[in-house]
Amino acid sequence: MKALVLAGGRGTRLRPFTHTVPKQLVPVANKPVLFYGLEAIKDAGITDVGVIVGDHGPAIQSALGDGAAFGLNIGYIEQHAPLGLAHCVMIAQDFLGDADFLLYLGDNVIIDGVGPLLDAFWRSRPDAMVMTGKVANPSEYGVAEVGPGGVVTGLAEKPANPRSDLALVGAYVFTPVIHQAVRSVKPSWRNEREITDAIDWLLRSGWRVESHLHGGYWKDTGKVEDLLECNRAVLDTTERSIKGQVDDTCEIRGPVVIEEGAQVSGSRITGPAVIGVATVVRDSQVGPYTSIGADCDIAGAAIENSVVCAGSTVRGSLRNSLIGREAKVSGDIGRPASLVLGDHSQALLHGAAS
């Protein structure tokens, strides 16, 4: 079993943040999104991993290296343009060979990992298996229709009138027959070879496709609101750990992580929250559901339900915000501001709330 991890794409829904950082390296609870997937793959016993990269390839390769830090053997496959998930399988055939493989979307976080998916695949040995999850708004997802025994009977991409509430999650298991399928489908109206079309080709050609229902949390982090929701979900799994310096004037409530070298004074930290390595927090209120990266300078601030990346400075009030690396926020508008700020940017807040 091998794994093919998709880390291309342009992350247009996260701009301006993704002008300078790949969407797969945006941090959730102070860890890049992509790292959660790689750790899940290692935990499932897979070690040979191919990573599809695009415009941000050098940044992805710098972050992952040869995979040794994760206990993996990682190689890279370049996709010159975002031509679809099925196209990724096409260009990875030399790496994949005749092996069964896990296809994992690198901007997804699947709490509880992919072990149960692979266990279900080994037990049943279908020609393909899709991970599904129940959703309240299936018209916003690719949807699987599933019959008795978990057999997939049909797929629909963002249907106006969904016949199922089972959305496709960002993990699939394929046998080598998928290589014939991806070459048999034509590009969609988006000029992309869609993996849903390839799976539909398997169904129409008589191959067996099954669904594995994932009962835990999962999220595609491609939009700001989804990334912040995922940050909340991961923070909900954290346990209290105070390794940095906290003075006697502070109030620490609930599951708070203060990492080594961090200094917190005159502040209230309400968990779940994470304060990164060597970050300084003074006279501030942080949390709940807030991740502050390494080497940040937070003073006279109130930050809630936000992600602040490494090296940033905040003076003022933020809520529901995503702040890039080495960014600066200052000022006051009389209420918490909601910002999406790219790397090395500055925001000066001024004016009173209406």
Find the range with the poorest average confidence among 106-115, 283-292, 310-319, 345-354: 345-354
Residue with tokens 């529901």: 320
Per-residue pLDDT, averaged over 230-254, amounts to 96
Task: Report whether 301 contacts 318 (CB < 8 A).
Answer: yes
Burial class (CB in 10 A: 0-12, 13-18, 19+), 104: buried
Instruction: Decide: 39 and 112 in contact? Cβ < 8 Å.
Output: no
In the chain, domain spans? 2-223, 238-350
> Is a pLDDT exceeding 50 seen at residue 66?
yes
Kindly tell me if the per-residue pLDDT of 11 is higher than 60. Answer: no
Q: Please name the residue ranges forming H helices in 128-276.
A: 178-184, 195-204, 224-235
CATH of domain 238-350: 2.160.10.10
Do 107 and 24 form a contact (C-beta atoms < 8 A)?
Answer: yes
Residue 81 has pLDDT above 90, yes or no: no
Per-residue burial over 175-187, b if 16 or more Cβ lie within 10 Å, else e, is beebbebbeebee
Is the confidence at residue 353, as pLDDT, over 60? no
Model confidence at 12: pLDDT above 80: no
Q: Tell me how far apart the alpha carbons of residues 166 and 242 are, in angstroms, rounded to a whole number.
A: 40
d(CA 352, CA 354): 6
Q: How far apart are CA 280 and CA 73, in angstroms?
A: 37
pLDDT of residue 220: 86
Q: Cβ–Cβ contacts within 10 Å for residue 256, how many?
A: 25
Instruction: Kindly state the DSSP code that residue 22 receives in the 8-state scheme.
Output: -
**16-53 residue pLDDT tens:** 666 667 788 989 999 999 999 999 999 999 999 999 99
- Which of 328, 257, 327, 266 lies closest to 300 in space, CA to CA? 266
Question: How many Å is the Cα radius of gyration of the chain?
Answer: 22
d(CA 106, CA 112): 16
Percent of the chain with pLDDT over 90: 78
Domains 2-223 and 238-350 share a fold: no
Amino acid of residue 96: L
Query: How many CA atoms within 13 Å lie on the side-chain side of 308?
Result: 38
3-state SS, 55-114, equals CCHHHHHHHHCCCHHHCCEEEEEECCCCCCHHHHHHHCHHHHCCCCEEEEECCEEECCCC
Residue 352 pLDDT greater than 50, yes or no: no
Residue type, 225: E
Measure the CA–CA gap between 260 and 11, rounded to whole angstroms.
Answer: 32
The whole-number average pLDDT for the span 56-80 is: 95
- Mean of pLDDT values over 313-333: 93
CA 350 to mean position of chain CA atoms: 33
**Which pLDDT score is estimated for 15?**
65
Which contiguous run of DSSP H or E holds residue 85? helix 85-91
Phi and psi for 279 in degrees, rounded to 5?
Answer: -85, 145
Is residue 93 within a helix (H) or strand (E), and if so which, with residue range?
helix 93-96
Could you tell me if 198 and 89 are in contact, meaning their C-beta atoms sit under 8 angstroms apart? Answer: yes
- What's the token pair of residue 172? 């699939």
Q: What is the pLDDT of residues 141-159, one digit of tens each?
A: 889 999 999 999 999 888 8
Q: What fold characterizes domain 2-223? A: Spore Coat Polysaccharide Biosynthesis Protein SpsA; Chain A (3.90.550)
Rounded to whole angstroms, the Cα distance separating 353 from 57 reads 42
Report the phi/psi class of residue 202: left, alpha or beta, with left for phi > 0 and alpha for psi in -120 to 50. Answer: alpha
- Separation CA 52–CA 22 (nearest Å): 13
**Two tokens at 53?**
């990269």
**Contact call for residues 186 and 167 (beta carbons, < 8 A):** no
pLDDT tens digits, residue range 156-189? 888 888 889 999 999 999 999 999 999 999 988 8
